[in-house]
Structure 1
C-alpha cells in the first residue's frame, strides 16, 4: 500500500513539474531571445507561487498560527487558480499559434508582389494631362529617378538603419502575442471568478412538489445554505453577507448543510458570529460536512448551538406538516460519528413527508432506502473551477440542481463560498430557496 501511494505521489509530482515547466517555457523562454533576467524572474514566479500554495495548504491542515494562514492563503490559493488557467490558456494557444504564423507568412509573401506592382512603369495613356499641372515636367522629358538610398546616403542623412536584433523574428513575435493573450485571459478569468465569490452568493429559487405534503404546507420556503467555508480568506464580512442574503428571502426555515468552516472555533468563532442573526419562522438547522471533521466537529456543533442553530446529529424533528431530519457526514465515520439513518429515520410516521439534510449527494442511496421524500445537499461546489465539474460529475450522482432517484428527490446547492481559491468559474455560488409544493393544492 505504501509503495502504491509513493508511486501515485511521484506520478502527480511529475505531472505538476512537467505542466509548470511547459507554462514557464511558453510564457518566458519562448518570448525572450536568450538567457537573462526575464527567464529568471519567470522561474521565481512559477516556483514561488507553488511554494506559497503548498504552504497555504499545509498551514491550514496543520493548524498553523492563524495569522500565518492568512498571510499564505491569499497569494497561495489564488496561484492555484491562476496556474490552472494559465495552463489551459497556453494549451489553447497551441491551436492559435500555427494559424497566426500562417497568416503572417501569407502577408509577408504578398508584400513583394505589392511592391513590384507599385514600381511598374505607368502606361502613357494613364499619364495626367500636362496642361492640368503647369509645373509638370515638359512632355518628352523623363522624370528624374531617385536611386534607393544606400549605406552612404543613409549615413549622410543621419538616419540609423534598424538593427536586426531590434526587430523580433516571426516566431518570436507569434510567441509573444500568444503568451500575452494567454496571460491576459487567465488573469481576467481568475479576477472575474474571485469577484463573483467576494460579491456574495445570489439567490436561486426552486419549486419542489412532494406527494405527501399536505395542502396547508403548500409554499413552505426552505433557505438552503451550504459550503460557506469560513477560513483564512472568507471571514466575518463574508458571513454577514450570507446572513443578510438569507434573511432577505424571509424563509420559513433555514438549512445549513455542512462545510461551514475551515479552521478551529478559537480562530473562526468571531467570523461565524453573524450566524446568530439568522431569522426564520421555524428556526435554523445545521448538519456537519466533511470539513467540520477536519476542524473539530464536536466544538463546532456546540458553537452553532450557542449561536442559535439547531444541530441535527442523526436526529429528526417534527414540524407542523412534515418531518425534518439530519444525518452526520460520512467523514465522521473515522471518528465514530458517521451517519445513522436508522436513528434519524427509523421510527417515523411514513405517512408524513420527510426532508433530509445530508451534506454529500452520495448519501442519496441511503435516503432512497429509508423512504426520504427530499434530500438537501451541497459539497460539490458545482465543480467550482471549470473543468472541475467533470471531476465532480464522476464522483457524485448529482453535481448541482434537482434530480429524482425513484420516489426520492435530491437537490444539490453549488454552495455559498469557496474552498481553496476564493474563485469560481462556470459554477456561480448560490443560496437556494426551496419552495415546497403540495399536489393537493
Structure 2
C-alpha cells in the first residue's frame, strides 16, 4: 500500500515591513493595523537600528513594538542582501504584502514584491524612485534643466545655468544638497563627495515647495493631498525642510490642479501600480516642477498631519493597498502643521514646553511617538505634540540636512486658521537647553 503524502503545512499570512527603528517609532499604528488583520508583521531593519534598544521596546508589554516577534537586521540595503535575509520568511510564511517605510529600502522592497507577485509599486517604479539620475532621465519633461555628472567628470562639470543646485544622486534627507552661484562654489561643493558618488547639477527653480501624497491602486490615483513645505533656503545655501502644512493653504484651484495632475502624470510615466507615494514639486509661475518622487511613506510627521487634518489614520489605507485592496481616504476638514525650531550650536540638554497639556516626547530614546487624537472640524487651534528627534548629549550644529534638526511642534486648527503663525507661536513656547560637553 503506497505511503500517504503528509498534509501540506499551513503557512501563516504575513506582511514584510522594511524600516528602521526611528521610523517604526513613528509608524507603530502600521504594525498594529497588520496585527489587527491576523497577519504577522515581519520587520526588516537596517544598520542604523540599535538592536539592543529595539529589543527593549519589544520586551515591554506596554509598547506597541511588543507586537513584533520577527525582526531581521541587515548590514546594508542592497537588493541581494535583503533577498538573502528574508529567504526563510518567504518559505515559512505566506507573504501577502510588502511595505517600505524608509528611502533606503525602496529598491529591495520593490524587488521583493515583484519576485513574489505582490501588490506594490512594481520593481521598475521602485528602482526609478530610488535613483535620482534614473528619475531625471525617465521624467525629463516634468523636471528642471539638469546634467548628471559621473565621478570622473567632476573636474570639467558645468551646470545648465547659474544659480544651480548640487545634489548627490544616491543620498537621502537633503544630505549634500546645496545652492551654488558660481564656478568657485561649484568646485567646492563637488569636492565634498566621495570618489564613487555621481552628482546632479540642476537649474535652481524659484517658487514655493510642496509635496503631493497619493494613494494608488492598480495605477489609479484614489486620493491625493497637497502639503506645503517650509525650508531654510532663505537663510543660506541649503534646503532642509523645516515645516509642513496639510493641506497646503492659499492655493488657487488652478495651482492645486497643476500639482495633482503633474503628480498623476509622473506616476503614470513610471508605471507605479499600488501603494502610497510622496512626490516633491516647486510651483514656478503656475507650473509644477518635479524635484523628486518616492515610492514609500512620507517622512517627518506627514502621515500624522493627514490624520489630524482628515480625522482618519492613513495606516489602514496603506495596508489595504499593500494587500491589493481598493481603499478610500477622506478629504481634510482641518489643517495640521509640523514646524521645526531653530537651535544654537551646542550639546543638547533638556527641552521644556510651556504649552498647556503638551508634554515633550523624546521619540528616539523612547521609540514611540505620542498618540494622535483628532478634534472636531471647528475645534480651537491646539498644539498636540512637542517632538525631540535627537538625544540628550547630541551635538547640535547647522541644520544643513534633515538629520541635523532637533525639536519640532505638531498641531492643528480649523481650515481658516493661519497655521504658519500658529506654528511660530507654538515653537516660541518651547525652550531648548544646552549643557557643557563631557570631556
Q: Give the TM-score of the pair, scaled to structure 2.
A: 0.23
Q: Comparing both structures, which one devotes a greater share of its residues to strand?
A: 2
**Highest RCO, 1 vs 2 (Cα 8 Å, sep ≥ 6):** 1
Higher helix content, 1 or 2:
1
TM-score with structure 1 setting the length:
0.23
